[in-house]
Amino acid sequence: MKRLQTQDGYFIDPVTNEPSSSIEAIVVDSGALSRNYYNTEGIAQCWSSEGSKPDDNVPVSTRQAVRCLDCPQNIRGASSYGRPCKFFSVITLVTKESKTVCSLRLGGNSLFAKTINNMTLQQYVDYLKSNSEELDTVLTEVYSVEANGFHRVYFKPARPLSAEEREHVKRLIEEDEESKDNPFNNGKQNMKNTSYILKDVEARYPRIDQPYRYDSNAGVKGKSVPCEAVADNAVYELDFVMTEPQAKDLYSAMNAAYKSARDDTWPEKLANPFPKIEGGYKGKARLKAAYNLQPTTPPPQFDADNKRLENGFLLTTGSTINVALELVPYKMSQSGVALRLRGVQVTNYLPYQTTSPFGVEEGFSANATPEEDDNIFGEVSEEEVVEAAPEEKPIKEPAKKAKKKEEATPSTSDDLVSAVFEEWGDD
């Protein structure tokens, strides 16, 4: 599901990325009343997805109470900025303009604060009920108002929906439920305008069976370790190796997404994001394990028959896969297009092999065969040994070639893409 983001009082359309001070949408789910508590350093300490007790994945060391009702952080005035533990809810809408199912996060003041000239969500729900209507039977205007330096979201009815519109909204919701877990369904690319399915690439160092985070203290030089979904910097991630034609096609799609989002503050040229390695070009796709302390759905994995694999399926390096990606342009200290991981289809699985620190010795062999008299304690006439699987070593980056003298920047976007391709070389 796409997220309807807000910025400085504007709603950012999840498809067009166009800002607007208000939108028209159908609210189909008001969401659960949740809580979260951050310490003075802005680090999440405790949270509740249903608002009555801490979630099971809250560490015991930071859990504030057994029940939210008894929590000292749930007392108004317990800090200089009000109630330390904040309410929030994530509602689901279908936008009228782009007909997109998306989520919107609302803070406590937008949920149930008492207002006179505007309606919070709770006031709006009560108003509709008094007029024999429900949230999903009315086209709603969702807008933002600034108060005391903060932007609050309010609601008001635009008009009742027709029977045909209600049925259409119902179909959109059903289609979203069917497609969100399977980006390979019927070969469709489900992320409208930002999706890409990359076929027949080699998996490298997949970490998608569960969330992982980088721990600088693990191992000799630090490494990714399993963690809870809500841990800081927890992600699902996957490296993959492409051929040069595959890398160029993906770059072209990323450049198109970049161009559609770019403004004058962004660099004109999208840099080549794929380093050349042994075997081709390396790409990386990631998915944050949680947003706003709400765990994301792990990237689903499917077999060649498009049947979903069990949760925790351990994909291996060297397997051949199709990868469903969402192309996400961004501009922060740097600019580029992120590859958000949406799913993996395994077309050729390389069986998992364990490594051993030991050599071959005389003695017990798991592959030994007893003599025909079934004397399992007799001597084995012939011994077999099992060779340890070779330890997987990181691929060394080839030595970089000296850069050629930079030429003048091409004037058209097509020329820019061609120029990037030329920089890759043909060797």
| For the chain, percent of residues with pLDDT exceeding 90 | 39
User: Cα separations (Å) of 162 from 63, 137, 165, 180?
Assistant: 48, 8, 5, 27
Range list of H helices, 131-215 = 163-179
Q: Which residue in 2, 322, 309, 338 sits closest to 184, CA to CA? A: 322
Q: Which residues lie across from 44 on neighbouring strands?
A: 38
pLDDT at 303: 93
User: Cα separations (Å) of 324 from 182, 189, 299?
Assistant: 9, 8, 9
pTM of the model: 0.50
pLDDT reading at 119 higher than 50: yes
Among the residue ranges 15-29, 100-114, 283-297, 352-366, the one predicted with the least confidence is 352-366
Each residue's pLDDT tens digit, 346-377: 999 998 776 667 777 888 777 665 554 444 43
pLDDT band at 208 (very low <50, low <70, confident <90, very high): very high
Average pLDDT rounded to a whole number, residues 161-175:
87
pLDDT at 265: 84
pLDDT band at 159 (very low <50, low <70, confident <90, very high): very high
pLDDT at 335: 84
Average pLDDT along the chain = 81
Q: Is domain 2-179 given the CATH code 2.40.50 in the classification?
A: yes
pLDDT at 173: 83
Each residue's pLDDT tens digit, 233-245: 899 999 999 999 9
pLDDT at 411: 52
Token digits for 281?
A: 């070009």
**For residue 2, how many other CB atoms are within 10 A of its CB?**
19
Q: What is the C-alpha to C-alpha distance for residues 285 and 340, in angstroms, rounded to an integer?
A: 6
Contacts 24+ apart (CB under 8 A), 73-78: 73/37, 73/46, 74/35
Type of residue numbered 323: V
Which run of H or E residues covers position 124? helix 121-130
pLDDT at 193: 45
What is the residue extent of each domain of the chain?
2-179, 185-353
pLDDT at 183: 60
Average pLDDT rounded to a whole number, residues 388-410:
49
| For the chain, percent of residues with pLDDT exceeding 70 | 79
Average pLDDT rounded to a whole number, residues 34-40:
87
Token digits for 114?
A: 């008492």
Contact of 154 with 143, CB cutoff 8 Å? yes
Q: Find how far residue 85's CA is from the centre of its chain.
A: 26
**For residue 333, how many other CB atoms are within 10 A of its CB?**
4
Residues in the chain: 427
Among the residue ranges 41-50, 313-322, 335-344, 374-383, the one predicted with the least confidence is 374-383
Each residue's pLDDT tens digit, 338-352: 999 999 999 999 987
Answer with the residue of higher pLDDT: 377 or 408: 408
Q: What is the C-alpha to C-alpha distance for residues 142 and 136, in angstroms, rounded to an integer?
A: 14
Answer with the residue of higher pLDDT: 320 or 294: 320
pLDDT at 369: 57
Among the residue ranges 66-75, 153-162, 276-285, the one predicted with the least confidence is 66-75
pLDDT at 415: 65
Q: Which residue in 237, 225, 327, 215 sits closest to 288, CA to CA? A: 237
Under DSSP, is residue 299 helix (H, G, I), strand (E, B) or coil? coil
Which CATH architecture group holds 185-353?
A: Beta Barrel (2.40)
Average pLDDT rounded to a whole number, residues 45-60:
87
